[in-house]
């Protein structure tokens, strides 16, 4: 099950990916997470990436493509993976075609107002990376602390409402060619993600099964969407 998730900020890419990762034991690969980890470690890659980010520039395609190619060659991707945050350009999409055959591209379509509310309430565990929301499920049970490791949850700076609105507009301006690219290849599956994951996920799983994409059995079959 080799999937790409595309969606505006607040569409729920991280929430959907976390559910599939835990139920089917396939890795959720986020280029943003990889870059943040490398910056925190102070690695050579992290220093190169930080230079671009500090200048407010996009990380060049050749660096991003090399990072993704290296990650997809790891043994834990044998049964599949979920790519989140890649590709972001047509050049990256075409490069991905040279690296691996993708089964489907899930386009999580969300309205601007829903996106703003979701992200302004989003909180993230800095230890395990789990995502919570103070307005929607899954909510933290204990005063904005992680249910699993007790770490104080954090709000990312780019989840503030005014920043979310700008990110939303930028997404639709920059991703239209990529969405059209995958639609023309017959790989795009569009999902109305204004609804909750509890409503959408069973429909999406059933569709992936019918298309012959979901071919692996759950490693944790009792997991249900929150």
Active site amino acids: 13, 88, 122, 156, 167
Give the distance between the most distant pair of CA atoms in the chain.
46
Round the CA-based radius of gyration of the chain to a whole number and report it: 17
Spell out the long-range contacts of 195-201 with Cβ–Cβ below 8 A and sequence spacing 24 or more: 196/136, 196/137, 196/225, 197/12, 197/15, 197/16, 197/19, 197/225, 197/226, 198/137, 198/224, 198/225, 198/226, 200/16, 200/225, 201/16, 201/19, 201/225
- Residue 139 near residue 132 (C-beta atoms within 8 A): yes
**Is it true that the peptide bond before 61 is cis, omega within 30 degrees of 0?**
no
- Residue 24 near residue 219 (C-beta atoms within 8 A): yes
Two tokens at 191? 């999902």
Two tokens at 67? 């990072």
Q: What is the DSSP letter of 219?
A: S
Cα angle 160-113-197, degrees, rounded to a multiple of 5: 95
């Amino acid at each position: 099950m080799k999937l790409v998730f595309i969606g505006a900020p607040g569409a729920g890419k991280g929430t959907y990916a976390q559910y599939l990762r835990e139920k089917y034991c396939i890795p959720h690969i986020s280029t943003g997470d990889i870059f943040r980890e490398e910056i925190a470690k102070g690695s050579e890659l992290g220093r190169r990436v930080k230079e671009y980010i500090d200048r407010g520039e996009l990380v060049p395609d050749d660096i991003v493509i090399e990072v993704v190619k290296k990650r997809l060659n790891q043994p834990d991707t044998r049964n599949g993976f979920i790519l989140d945050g890649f590709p972001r350009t047509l050049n990256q999409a075409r490069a991905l075609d040279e690296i691996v055959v993708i089964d489907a591209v899930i386009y999580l379509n969300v309205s601007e107002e829903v996106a703003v509310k979701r992200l302004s309430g989003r909180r993230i565990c800095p230890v395990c990376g789990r995502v919570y929301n103070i307005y929607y499920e899954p909510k933290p049970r204990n005063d904005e602390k992680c249910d699993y490791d007790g770490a104080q949850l954090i709000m990312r700076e780019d989840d503030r409402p005014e920043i979310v609105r700008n990110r939303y507009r930028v997404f639709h301006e920059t991703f239209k060619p990529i969405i059209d690219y995958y639609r023309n290849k017959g790989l795009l599956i569009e999902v109305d993600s204004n609804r909750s994951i509890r409503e959408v996920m069973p429909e999406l799983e059933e569709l992936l099964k019918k298309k012959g994409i979901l071919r692996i059995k759950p490693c944790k079959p009792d997991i249900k969407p929150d």
